[in-house]
Structure 1
Amino acid sequence: MTTTAAGLAELKALTGADLGHSSWLEIGQERVNAFADVTGDHQWIHLDPERAGRGPFGGTIAHGYLTLSLVIPLFTELLEIGGVRMSVNYGLNRVRFPAPVKVGGRIRLAATVVSVEDVAGDGVQMVVDFTVEIDGSAKPACVAQAVYRHYA
């Protein structure tokens, strides 16, 4: 279920809120290949199913940064923000990739709003904890703390 915030005051009221989970997203080899082409990261562990099948993960895996980049579309399932003129990614406080996402696996996003505080320029800074879960795995694919700025 999507949480909706209309304006900065409603964003501030989300401090501490558990935004739940996104839907599951399957990670296919075509997506991994396209990410490799865009980033220039053509390591065999991502692209060569035969060689990767003999490697430590038993098959190809998604790039960690591909997993991180998917936070953006998955987060839009969890939070819809209206009543602001601009929103920007301000940065990341931390990122870890505890477990690989095997090609053909499914991921989903869990999010919790850590804080929402005023910043100069009629805006707020929102800190969000993210966990990218892997279907059937006890360990997550990614844990990250992201910082966003929203301006009225």
Structure 2
Amino acid sequence: MPREISLSDVKDLVGTEIGVSSWITVDQTMIDTFADATDDHQFIHVDPARAEAESPFGGTIAHGFLTLSLLSTMNYDCLPVIREQTMGLNYGLDHIRFGSPVRTGKRIRGHFKLTEARFRGAGMLMTTYDVNIEIEDEKKPALTATWTTIVQFDPKDRPEDA
């Protein structure tokens, strides 16, 4: 996949996996920082000794919302930039499922399949992706979701066939 595409290229990519991100290691420092930012200090996230002794996970695990929040990093890492884009916005997420916990020290990466792209108004393109976050060496994904974003662009750049 090229690192940059045009608005007119997007329609031909619908139905294909257009990006797989690099691996991200989810370590205890990342989990602790997220716990501080969200004030979610549940022991299964921040207390390795207690999590090993009292949880079924064998140690600490990442917050599900931490895993979800890493979609933005994964997106920037692997999805092509739309040349005409002036701004991108999150529109929403549907059908979010946390399939498997991300244990501390594991590596994860995102897979992005473009399922829909439709122009709205003069200067907006709505894109919908089926996303999943894979955990290295595990069968079940950490997360699956449907993610809709808005690409804004100057109306003069709208493809004629759109």
Decide: shared fold, TM above 0.5.
yes
Do the aligned residues in 1 keep the contact of 2:22 with 2:78 (CA within 8 Å)?
no
Do the aligned residues in 2 keep the contact of 1:132 with 1:141 (CA within 8 Å)?
yes
Q: After TM superposition, give the deviation of residue 11 of structure 1 in Å.
A: 2.4
Do the aligned residues in 2 keep the contact of 1:129 with 1:145 (CA within 8 Å)?
yes
Please say if 1:61 is aligned against 2:58. no
Alpha-carbon separation, structure 2, partners of 1:13 and 1:76: 21
Among the aligned pairs, what percent are the same residue? 38
In the other structure, the counterpart of 1:23 is 22
In the other structure, the counterpart of 2:152 is 151
- Tell which structure's C-alpha radius of gyration is larger: 2
Q: After superposition, where does 1:2-151 map in structure 2 within 5 Å?
A: 3-6=3-6, 8-54=7-53, 55-81=55-81, 82-151=83-152
Give the ranges of 4+ consecutive aligned residues of structure 1 lying more than 6 Å apart after TM superposition: none
Alpha-carbon separation, structure 2, partners of 1:124 and 1:94: 21
Which runs of 5 or more structure 1 residues have no equivalent in the other structure? none
Q: After TM superposition, give the deviation of residue 108 of structure 1 in Å.
A: 0.8
Q: After TM superposition, give the deviation of residue 22 of structure 1 in Å.
A: 1.4
Alpha-carbon separation, structure 2, partners of 1:2 and 1:103: 33
SS in 2 for 1:85: strand
Do the aligned residues in 1 keep the contact of 2:19 with 2:79 (CA within 8 Å)?
no
Query: How many residues of Structure 1 are paired with residues of Structure 2 in the alignment?
Result: 151
Q: Which amino acid letter does the alignment assign opposite residue 35 of structure 1?
A: F
Do the aligned residues in 2 keep the contact of 1:124 with 1:150 (CA within 8 Å)?
yes
- TM-score (normalizing by structure 2): 0.88
Q: Which amino acid letter does the alignment assign opposite residue 60 of structure 1?
A: T
Cα deviation, 1:65-85, whole Å, max 9, x if unaligned, reads 000111111111221322111
